Structures are given as structure tokens and as C-alpha cells.
Amino acid sequence: MRVLVIGNGGREHALAKALNDSPSTTDVYATRPNAGMMSCTKAIDVDPIDCPSVVESAQELNIDLVVVGPEAPLVAGLCDQLRAVGIPAFGPSQRAAALEGSKAFAKDVMAAAGVPTAAYGTFTTAEDACSFVDQHGKAMVVKADGLAAGKGVIVSESVSETHSAIHEILGGFVGDAGQQIVVEEKLVGPEISVIALVDGTTVRAFPSARDHKRVGDGDTGPNTGGMGAFSPIPHLGTEVEAQILESVLQPTVLELHSRGIPFSGFLYAGLMMTVDGPKVLEFNARMGDPECQALLMRFRGDLAQALYATATNRLDEVQLDFDPRPSVCLVLTSGGYPAQYTKGLPIYGVTKANESPGIFVYHAGTKYVDEQLVTSGGRVLGVTALGNDYEDAIHRAYRAADLIHFEGLQRRSDIAASALRGAQRG
């Protein structure tokens, strides 16, 4: 198979490497690959959201499968355009990607399918939204309907703060994404991510994972794309895993299918483990980043075959297999991220770190300038370890990361610490 990977972050490096390692692939191409992807892909210089140019390149290169990593090209309808010319595409259609692109749509699907989630209302005026909050009488969570790069959710501590959040988002704080809002009940509990392959009807879940969204230790400071991840969640239990499959993933997939909007690709459920059981916080229509790095470190088998089977509606023939050992991904970022940061700084020690036992260093914002590896984004590298237990995996990841240097390097010191504290704790 000749495969084309769309995107060039840490998630796409993990996908590209696993696809290149798959016995069923001969060539793996990628759009504007980062420095790490250069060793497992051939570069094509096309903008991922320029759908017609991606389609044209895929045709010219005789691509058998296109794997779309990020949400933007999915929401732009890239998979629809590829399928329209007969190229198998791994990823949801534009309409199905609305599960991530519109929180109001996602809530409506969940309500219809009976999927456990926070009670909510959908609003376009502050007056209606505020009176909904007053009736509820407690602080609530305000979410912009559309894609807002992680800035569209405000969790408030009081009714008056919820009112301010409503005015902020409807007032244009995140642009057009906030023309409509979802106001929902505030849930409490540890968060987990469950990501599954879906081919319209069949669901095959990956093991559980947790990411660390806040920039600072102890979950402090602003939200980021993700400062680290680990898999699996300790002591989650097969019963809870089955519950998530049966009460969340399968009903959502069936509801979309019955609406004539079959979902194909990675379905990502962000869940909160409440005292009343798991409840959905959000859906994404793609793999998580950096969950992908932690999960694929544990993946065993031919990823290209699994994604091709998904893209061609034969997922029922696939059984997934994972290394039972836990994995930890520690993200190294540019200084100042997620606010302003400097690019183009030389990076040292990656080769040495990669030689450490049980380690793979996934690249994100990196490139070569005159054969020197330099930073080119906020999240720079994901040092990922497989260990005999969580303590071992954490130790390996940090020891390998200690070998890597660039000016301003930032990282959290408590990635996967909650795994050591044990049972599902946040």
C-alpha cells in the first residue's frame, strides 16, 4: 500500500511511523513533514486544508489510503473529496466531523442516543442563556459551539462568573465559533480519554488514556494542546470499559448511522468519571495529541491494515492488540508556550535520547535548517516511554528527556503522577 498522511504534528509522526512500520505499506508520504517524520515518510509540499491540491497529489502518487490527522481538513471536507474520486480515506466526512466541529450538534446526538452527558441548553442570546443559569441556580460551564483552538470552554465558579462567561463568548471572544453557545451542568471527577476506530457501524476501542491539558504542574495555568499523556488508566476495570463502549461509543455511532451521517475514522470521547458513572465532556473526530503517541507506543500489529479496513467498512475483520505495559509521553515545549514563543532554536540530544531503552522521541514542531535540528512550533517533542510499570515508564521518559536541550525548554514535572496515585484518580 501507498499511504499519505495529512498533518505534521506529534500525532502525525506517531501515525506515520506506525504506518511505515506496517508490513502492508511500501511507501508513506506526508504533507510538509516535521523533521522526525522525514525518516519515515516522503515529503509533499501541500497545505492540508487545500483539499483540491491534496486530492490531486494523492491521484498523481497513486495513493491507496489517505490518513487524515488534524480536525481542520476533516471539517473542511477533505475525506468527502477524496472518496468522491474513489480514494479510500481514513477520517470522518464533513457532516460527521461536526461531532467535534459543533458542540450543539454533539449534544443533540447524545440526547437522542441516550448517552450520559451533562444537562444542557443551547443559546444564541445572553438573555436566554443567563435565565437558564439562574433557573439552575449554580455555576455552569459555557462552551462556544464551534472550533476555538481550546479557548472556547469556560468553567466558572459562581453564577455571576457564568453570566460573564456567557457575555464573553457570545460577545465575540472566540469569533464566529461563539455565535451559538452550549451552557451545561458542571461535572466533577477524574477525566479520561477513550479513542476508538469506527467504520460507520463497528467500534473497536483503543486502551484508555489521559492527557494533561494545563501548562503547569498540578494542572495549573492556561490550557494547551497537551503537555503529556499516559495509557492505560490504572484499575479502570473491564466493566467500566465495557460500559463506555456500550453506553457511549456504540449508541453515538448508531445514532449517526440512523441519521444518514455514518462516522468513519477515530472517534475520541473525552469523559469525566462522575459518581454516577462515565459522562461525555466532548467528542473529537480524530486521534488525540499526545494521546496518540502514548497509545501507538503500545500498538502491536499492522496499523495500515487496520486503518484501511476502517476506511473500507471492514473493521469487523480487525482485532486490535496492545502491549500490556504502560506508556508515558512527556511533551517538551518552547519557552512561553501556549502564549508567544521563539522559533528556530537549535535542539541537541535527540539522537542520544532515542537510544535510551524503551524510548521513542516523537517530533512535533521541529525542522532542519542547514542540517541542524531546530524548533518550529509550541510543542516541540514528545519523549515517549514504555515501562514495566508506571514508575518505570515515568523514570525512563524523564531520564531520556534530561538528555535533550534547547533554549527555553519547558516541560511539566508531574506527567502520569496520577497513575502512581492509583485508581482512576485525577
Q: Does 219 bind ligand AMP (CB under 6 A)?
A: no
Question: Closest residue (Cβ) to ligand AMP?
Answer: 282
Q: Which does 329 bind (CB under 5 to 8 A by kind): ligand GLY, ligand AMP, none?
A: none
* Phi, psi of 342, deg, nearest 5: -90, 140
Under rule CB under 6 A, how many of the chain's residues touch ligand AMP? 13
The DSSP element (H or E) to which 18 belongs, if any, is: helix 10-21
Stretch that binds ligand AMP, among 170-178, 183-191, 253-261, 418-426 (CB under 6 A): 183-191
Q: Identify the three-state secondary structure at position 406.
A: coil
Number of C-alpha atoms within 13 angstroms, CB side, residue 315? Answer: 20
Q: Does 186 bind ligand AMP (CB under 6 A)?
A: yes
Q: How far apart are CA 177 and CA 132, in angstroms?
A: 21
Q: Is 301 exposed, middle or buried (0-12, 13-18, 19+ CB in 10 A)?
A: middle
Contact residues for ligand GLY, defined by CB under 6 A: 211, 226, 284, 288-289, 291
Pick left, alpha or beta for residue 42 (phi over 0 → left; psi -120 to 50 → alpha; otherwise beta).
beta
Stretch that binds ligand AMP, among 24-32, 165-173, 181-189, 345-353 (CB under 6 A): 181-189
List helix spans (H) across 62-211: 71-75, 78-84, 98-101, 103-113, 126-136, 159-170
Q: Which does 255 bind (CB under 5 to 8 A by kind): ligand GLY, ligand AMP, none?
A: none
Binding mask 271-310 for ligand AMP (x = CB under 6 A): ----------xx----------------------------
β-strand 89-90 against 65-68: which pairing, if any?
Answer: parallel
Residue in the block written with cell 495509557: 231
Find the shortest distance in angstroms from Cβ 196 to ligand GLY.
Answer: 15
Q: How far apart are CA 53 and CA 45, in angstroms?
A: 10
Q: Name which of 204 and 286 has its Cβ closer to ligand GLY.
A: 286
Q: Does 194 bind ligand AMP (CB under 6 A)?
A: no
Q: Name which of 12 and 145 has its Cβ closer to ligand AMP.
A: 145
Find the shortest distance in angstroms from Cβ 52 to ligand GLY.
Answer: 27
Residue 334 near residue 215, CB atoms below 8 Å: no
Q: Does 187 bind ligand AMP (CB under 6 A)?
A: yes
Find the shortest distance in angstroms from Cβ 71 to ligand GLY.
Answer: 9
Q: Does 118 bind ligand AMP (CB under 6 A)?
A: yes
Stretch that binds ligand AMP, among 85-93, 182-190, 286-294, 391-399 (CB under 6 A): 182-190
Within 198-217, the residues that bind ligand AMP by CB under 6 A are 213
Residue 35 near residue 97, CB atoms below 8 Å: no
Residue in the block written with cell 469523559: 271
Q: Does 184 bind ligand AMP (CB under 6 A)?
A: yes
Find the shortest distance in angstroms from Cβ 304 to ligand GLY.
Answer: 22
Of 240, 227, 294, 231, nearest to 272 (Cα)?
Answer: 240
Residues that bind ligand AMP (CB under 6 A): 118, 141, 143, 153, 155, 184, 186-187, 191, 213, 270, 281-282
